[in-house]
Amino acid sequence: MASTPLLHAILHRMAQHPDAPALLFRQEQTSYGALHRLASAAADQLRAFGLPDRRPVGIVARKTPQAVALILGCLMVRQSFVLPSVELGETALRTLFNRADCARVLAPDTSVAGRVPGLETTVVWDGAPPPLSPTQPGTGLDGGLPEGPPPDECGFMLTTSGSTGLPKVVPLPASAVDAFTDWGCAQFGIEPGRTVLNYAPLNFDLCLLDIWATLKGGGCVALVEEDQATNPVHLLTLLESTPIHMIQAVPMLYRLLLDATRLDGRAFEAVRHVVFTGDSMPPSSLAALPRLFPKARFSNIYGCTETNDSFLHEVDLANGPPLGPLPIGAPLPGVRALIVGEDGAVIERAGVGELLVSTPFQTASYLDPAANEGKFSRRRCDGVEITYFHSGDLVRRHDDGSITLQGRKDFHVKVRGVRVNMQEVERVLQEHGGVQEAAVIAVPDDMAGHRLHAIVRRRPQAGVDSLELRRHCAGCLPRTAIPSGIEFVETVLPKTSTGKVDRRQLLQCHLKGDHDGVPRFY
């Protein structure tokens, strides 16, 4: 069955129900009609730029109705766009856009452009866009609805977290976005009259469900302001003032809500679907979720930016949280998965290996084909050549057939749902002229999943402090990769028998508070 084109569905909703709420932001509603006027103004601006064919634009944007409209405007004129995190440093953003051959870098308004003052951007709206009537040329509603881009044409170009250096650009064909948003609407009952909470930043792949599937289904998206994402008062006010149908978020959000309501016992009975993803959910949080959302169904979702959501496990919390790690669940419709050992052979029964995934929602390749090595491979399955993505996640298939995550093949950990490569953080630290050697350890944290802690030995007479090192990291790394703690030691870091830094000893000493194991001062 063919998927419904995303843009066609949204424009149809705009035409048929212009007064229906599309977005909720800062306690103000944006109707589908108002969103259409904003998107049409953006589309007209893009046409006026005279951009060259087949070259993307870069977008620097935080979540606002204007940012959502800018993306819709790009889709309306079939303009592909690269959407990275605004938390990347200026140098990293410039390099990323240059490598993607972006014809122009756009910002929805001056406030966003001002966050990266050294990056040359074109502001789409410097003030309120002019109102447009539905019959004005270029709105996309006169003369019928546009068909949307061909299935193999890319609009969304998401980016990876940048945990291994510069983020990779992940082009998503229109067919992948259409198929995924269709699945999301059907799976979670997203339809007119229902509101979905969007917690993730605009560049996260989670927004394909939170924002784009919701708009496709005719629902309303409640946008959590990014600067307020860790403010429990703001989050509770939003949940209490709006009947939320579905929440998808990393475990940190649920921990914030649980802690803020522990004493007064507040509950949100309107919520019907609670989805956690991006990291493992602590058992203490799992146990308390039914108190917070007494009428909700709970789902654990596994996926990667390259493949989008791949597995779903519905969690039964009626009798408390399950023992042990949560299974990643069953493959979504059309998803194929293999577990392969170190020798590359497929593990058919119980065992541990790397998870390879192929989905109807995935990219065919990174924008830079050189980055594909070791990440994509073709295997014959049932007489058909299938492209699989190598997730880098080690999983265990148990005797009962369930699959659980075991960890990463490399030095990746997840911080607030974002993959971070600890070796890359170490490399950046060691590039500072005042650093002799550095090691980064991942400290378990119930809220963030992990927090990064750096142990640094300074060069003789170097006066570098933790603030200077954080500023140095901020220019090269996403925010989640900046160590939350930096401590300085006077002696050589402990080494293994092979001469490598003994991170296990460092972590054990840190967790025990052993000042003898690793001499230090603050």
Say whether both 105 and 143 belong to one domain: yes
Q: How far is CA 245 from CA 22, 214, 316, 345, 459, in A?
A: 14, 11, 19, 43, 55
Say whether both 365 and 424 belong to one domain: no
> Last residue of some domain: 408, 440, 458?
408
CB atoms within 10 A of CB 339: 20
CA dihedral in degrees (108, 111, 112, 116; nearest 10)? 140
Burial 450-488 (b: 16+ CB within 10 A, else e): bbbbbbbbbeeebebeeeebeebbbebbbbbbbbeebeb
Whole-angstrom Cα distance, residue 452 to residue 482? Answer: 7
Task: Answer yes or no: is 428 within a domain.
Answer: yes
Say whether both 386 and 439 belong to one domain: no
The amino acid sitting at 273 is: H
Task: Answer yes or no: is 167 within a domain.
Answer: yes
Q: How far is CA 377 from CA 313, 364, 384, in A?
A: 26, 10, 13
Phi, psi of 201 (to 5 degrees): -60, 160
Whole-angstrom Cα distance, residue 19 to residue 418? Answer: 37
Say whether both 346 and 472 belong to one domain: no
CB-based contacts of 377: which residues, under 8 Å, 6+ apart?
356, 387, 388, 390
Say whether both 348 and 370 belong to one domain: yes
Q: Where are the alpha helices (DSSP H) in 77-141?
A: 90-99, 110-113
Task: Answer yes or no: is 154 within a domain.
Answer: yes
Whole-angstrom Cα distance, residue 304 to residue 306? Answer: 5
Least confident range of 31-40, 334-343, 423-432:
423-432
Do residues 493 and 506 touch, judged by C-beta distance below 8 A?
Answer: yes
CATH code (residue 469)? 3.30.300.30
Say whether both 73 and 172 belong to one domain: yes
Say whether both 400 and 416 belong to one domain: no
Q: How confident is the model at residue 137 (pLDDT cuts 50, 70, 90)?
A: very low
Q: Taking CA 375 as the corner, what is the angle to CA 313 and CA 407, rounded to the nearest 5 degrees?
A: 45
Say whether both 394 and 471 belong to one domain: no
Q: How confident is the model at residue 133 (pLDDT cuts 50, 70, 90)?
A: very low
Task: Answer yes or no: is 258 within a domain.
Answer: no
pLDDT of residue 500: 65
> Last residue of some domain: 408, 443, 470?
408
Task: Indicate the pairing of strand 105-107 with strand 81-83.
Answer: unpaired
CATH code (residue 344)? 2.30.38.10
Q: Taking CA 151 as the corner, what is the angle to CA 194 and CA 211, rounded to the nearest 5 degrees?
A: 25
Kindly provide the residue ranges of all beta strands, DSSP E only, lying in 341-448, ordered along the sequence: 351-358, 376-381, 384-397, 403-408, 412-415, 418-421, 435-445
Q: How confident is the model at residue 498 (pLDDT cuts 50, 70, 90)?
A: very low
CB-based contacts of 230: which residues, under 8 Å, 6+ apart?
252, 256
Burial 272-287 (b: 16+ CB within 10 A, else e): bbbbbbbbbbbbebbe
Task: Answer yes or no: is 274 within a domain.
Answer: no
Say whether both 344 and 474 belong to one domain: no
- What are 142-194's pLDDT values in tens digits? 445 555 566 678 899 999 876 556 889 999 999 999 999 999 999 999 999 99
Q: How far is CA 182 from CA 9, 69, 179, 189, 223, in A?
A: 10, 21, 5, 11, 21
Q: What is the mean pLDDT of residues 124-139?
A: 51
Whole-angstrom Cα distance, residue 262 to residue 383? Answer: 55
Whole-angstrom Cα distance, residue 294 to residue 442? Answer: 34
Say whether both 363 and 483 belong to one domain: no
Task: Answer yes or no: is 248 within a domain.
Answer: no
Say whether both 397 and 422 belong to one domain: no
pLDDT of residue 134: 41
Say whether both 397 and 451 belong to one domain: no
- What are 223-265's pLDDT values in tens digits? 999 889 989 999 999 999 999 999 999 888 998 899 899 889 8
pTM, rounded to two decimals: 0.80
CA dihedral in degrees (53, 58, 63, 67; nearest 10)? -40
Count of helix runs (H) and strand runs (E) in the chain: 14, 25
- What's the total number of domains in the chain? 3
Do residues 97 and 80 touch, judged by C-beta distance below 8 A?
Answer: no
* Structural element, H or E, at residue 276: strand 273-277
pLDDT of residue 142: 46
Query: Mean pLDDT over all residues of the chain?
Result: 88
Task: Answer yes or no: is 196 within a domain.
Answer: yes
Task: Tell me which residue range forms the domain holding 471.
Answer: 412-512
Task: Answer yes or no: is 443 within a domain.
Answer: yes
CATH code (residue 139)? 3.40.50.980
> Last residue of some domain: 408, 440, 465?
408
- What are 440-496's pLDDT values in tens digits? 999 998 888 899 999 998 988 888 999 999 999 998 898 899 999 999 998 888 875
Q: Where are the alpha helices (DSSP H) in 322-461?
A: 422-430
